[in-house]
């Protein structure tokens, strides 16, 4: 099926919904879904729900909450921020292999409560078909709660989402995908505010060095070691001995003695 056909199918799916609440992360997938829903249904029939917490970096929160203005909707779009405290959820901080299931189930249950009070019956999120190809415990919560996945229903993969987003003039259409900071903490290590702060500090620091969209993962066994994932385009910067030395100094200032680079990249 050609991209244009998939786009028309997405529009038809949204039109059938009539009214829709969208679980909005601020990322490219939910951004495309939101843009299409606004165009097809009109702002009055779309409720945008965003979960704000310590699992996100401040720039990610700002980008999500400013999405309407940055994408041509200075007024009229209702974006409701839902403040959550995941560090108070015992099953989440335990960080088992099902952590994402517990988190998504909690968040989407809160979203359902908010939307139903406003008279919205359908909740959708930005899952695309590539997301179905990997082990994602959060998908179980999506199915159990009856959350719609319009991008999946239309057959759109990640590259197609980016292409459509670019065609529609969305800001940050080419920004690397992001995920919550808890994903940088290996399963079995308890999720704490201190660990989240360290990951946030490392990634914001690397972005200041020019490594946009990087991820820094803790080591399961060695608290003085991290693994760094870079965008493919950024590997060339590591050829500069000065940059490598600066990065080592940066990490060593926070107690890290071993910095590994994941050759698979992002």
pLDDT digits (tens, 9 = 90+) for 195-242: 999 999 999 999 999 998 899 999 999 999 999 999 888 999 999 999
The residues pairing with 225 across neighbouring beta strands, listed in sequence order, are 258
54 falls in which pLDDT band (50, 70, 90)? very high
What pLDDT score does 98 carry?
93
CATH topology of domain 3-167: Rossmann fold (3.40.50)
pLDDT digits (tens, 9 = 90+) for 2-20: 999 999 999 999 999 999 9
The percent of residues above 70 in pLDDT, for the chain, comes to: 100
Q: Does domain 192-261 have CATH number 3.40.50?
A: no
Q: Where do you find CATH 3.30.300 in the chain?
A: 192-261
Residue 188's closest CA among 151, 219, 225? 219
What pLDDT score does 76 carry?
86
Picking from 36-50, 55-69, 169-183, 236-250, which range would have the lowest pLDDT averaged per residue? 169-183
What pLDDT score does 70 carry?
92
pLDDT digits (tens, 9 = 90+) for 143-193: 999 999 999 999 999 999 999 999 999 988 888 788 899 999 999 999 999
The residues pairing with 218 across neighbouring beta strands, listed in sequence order, are 226
What pLDDT score does 172 carry?
85
Q: Where do you find CATH 3.40.50.620 in the chain?
A: 3-167
Burial category of 113 from C-beta neighbours within 10 Å (exposed 0-12, middle 13-18, buried 19 and up)? exposed
Burial category of 231 from C-beta neighbours within 10 Å (exposed 0-12, middle 13-18, buried 19 and up)? middle
Cα–Cα dist 112/138, whole Å = 16
Phi, psi of 225 (to 5 degrees): -130, 145
Q: Angle, to 10 degrees, between the axis of helix 158-167 and the axis of helix 3-17?
A: 80
| Token representation of residue 182 | 């808890």
Provide the phi-psi class of 188: left if phi over 0, else alpha when psi is between -120 and 50, else beta: left
What pLDDT score does 1 carry?
74
What pLDDT score does 230 carry?
94
Instruction: Write down the pTM of the prediction.
Output: 0.91
């Amino acid at each position: 099926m050609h991209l244009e056909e998939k786009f028309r199918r997405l529009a038809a799916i949204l039109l059938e919904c009539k009214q829709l609440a969208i679980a909005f992360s601020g990322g490219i997938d939910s951004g495309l879904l939101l843009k299409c829903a606004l165009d097809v249904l009109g702002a009055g029939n779309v409720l945008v729900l965003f979960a704000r917490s310590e699992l996100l970096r401040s720039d990610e929160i700002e980008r999500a909450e400013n999405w309407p203005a940055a994408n041509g909707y200075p007024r009229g779009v209702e974006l409701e921020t839902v403040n959550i405290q995941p560090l108070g959820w015992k099953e989440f901080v335990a960080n088992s292999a099902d952590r994402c299931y517990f988190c998504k189930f909690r968040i989407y249950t809160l979203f359902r409560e908010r939307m139903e009070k406003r008279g919205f019956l359908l909740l959708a999120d930005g899952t695309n078909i590539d997301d179905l190809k990997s082990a994602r415990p959060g998908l179980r919560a999506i199915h159990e709660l009856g959350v719609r996945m319009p991008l999946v229903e239309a057959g759109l993969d990640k590259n197609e989402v980016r292409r459509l987003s670019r065609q529609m003039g969305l800001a940050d259409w080419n920004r690397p995908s992001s995920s919550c900071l808890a994903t940088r903490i290996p399963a079995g290590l308890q999720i704490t505010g201190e660990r989240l702060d360290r990951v946030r500090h490392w990634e914001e620091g690397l972005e200041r060095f020019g490594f946009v969209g990087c991820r820094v993962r803790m080591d399961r066994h060695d608290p003085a070691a991290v693994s760094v994932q870079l965008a493919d385009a950024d590997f060339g910067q590591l050829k500069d001995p000065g940059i490598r030395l600066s990065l080592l100094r940066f990490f060593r200032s926070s107690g890290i003695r071993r910095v590994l680079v994941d050759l698979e990249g992002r």
